[in-house]
Amino acid sequence: MDQYNYYGCHDTTDWKDFLRSQRPSYEWLRAHVTDGKPVMLAEFATAPDADDPGRQRDWYARIPGAMKELPEVKALVHWNRPTSGDPSAI
């Protein structure tokens, strides 16, 4: 499950912080797959906010604190690719 903050992409105007973008999949995995094994977030990222460039930085800076809410996550893999500048392409 790859969860993203798609803000500004695919006609989405809802900014999701890291927990809002990750918690639903985390909880589903714990309830329906296993609650006894560690979890890896295989891909995650946020789209930038052109009106607030610091918002993307802050999204990433809050991840360490947010991890306390997802205690079984033991690995994270960040999706990193340059954007075209066209939000519909993300």
pLDDT, tens only, 42-77 = 888 998 888 998 999 999 999 999 999 999 999 999
Query: Where does the pLDDT of residue 82 fall: very low under 50, low under 70, confident under 90, or very high at 90 and above?
Result: low
Position 41 in a domain: yes
The residues, any chain, with a CB within 8 Å of residue 72's CB and separated by 6 or more, are 26, 30, 35, 37, 38, 39
Among residues 44, 41, 45, 47, which one has the least CA distance to residue 12?
Answer: 47
87 within domain boundaries: no
Domain assignment of residue 71, given as a range: 2-82
The pTM of the full predicted model, rounded to 2 decimals, is: 0.78
Q: Is residue 20 part of a domain?
A: yes
With respect to residue 23, please indicate whether it lies within any of the assigned structural domains: yes
Structural domains counted in the chain: 1
Answer yes or no: is 74 within a domain: yes
Q: How many of the other CB atoms lie within 10 Å of CB of 69?
A: 12
| pLDDT higher than threshold 90 for residue 14 | no
54, part of any domain: yes
